[in-house]
Amino acid sequence: MAGFLEMYVVGGEGGFLGADGVNPIEALLLVGWSDRQWIEPHYFHRSLKPIGKVRVLIPATPEAPELLIDSCIAFLPRYFRSCPSFREVASELEGATRLDFHMHSDQIPGSWNRLREEARPIFESINIWSAKLTPVRGNQ
């Protein structure tokens, strides 16, 4: 059975110096688990779009160190359009619906690693929160 057990929330820092949590919420990056881990986005604004038509990202391994930066590049590309390699990667992914770093890493654009490194300083400035999802029952 597959389901979501974690998520990352991307958005603004609410209140003074972020004291009020996330506001506004831009997107959720939902982390699903089955025989492999996957990430898919949920957007709060219709204007947000992934790179190409990518709807799913499968990391090389669960908890791969690149999981979050790769997800942001794939699902929030507007942040990274200024990177020199962005257009090349976007062109190579024009019809792609998934990025599979685990079993189909040969289908990842050759310039992805370069884009990832160019994107790092931008990525570090994005506000991201994480949450583990646990069931709530009754009056807990």
Residue 81 has pLDDT above 70, yes or no: yes
Quick one: what percent of the chain has pLDDT higher than 90? 70
Quick one: what percent of the chain has pLDDT higher than 70? 95
- Mean pLDDT (the chain) is 91
Where does the chain show beta strands of DSSP type E? 3-13, 22-33, 37-43, 56-58, 98-100, 128-132
pLDDT at 105: 85
Copy the structure tokens of residue 40: 């898919």
Place of tokens 């790179």: 51
Residue 3 has pLDDT above 60, yes or no: yes
Residue 140 has pLDDT above 70, yes or no: no
Mean pLDDT of 80-102: 95
Three-class DSSP labels, 48-67: CCCCCCCCEEECCCCCCCCH
Identify the band that residue 62 occupies on the pLDDT scale cut at 50, 70 and 90: confident
pLDDT at 130: 95
Q: Residue 67 to residues 51, 70, 101, 102: CA-CA distances in angstroms? A: 16, 5, 10, 11
Copy the structure tokens of residue 99: 């990025």
Q: pLDDT digit string (tens) for 123-135? A: 999 999 999 999 8
Any idea which of 8-17, 20-29, 108-117 has the lowest mean pLDDT? 8-17
Q: Is the pTM for the entire model greater than 0.85?
A: yes
- Dist. CA 124–CA 65, nearest whole Å: 14
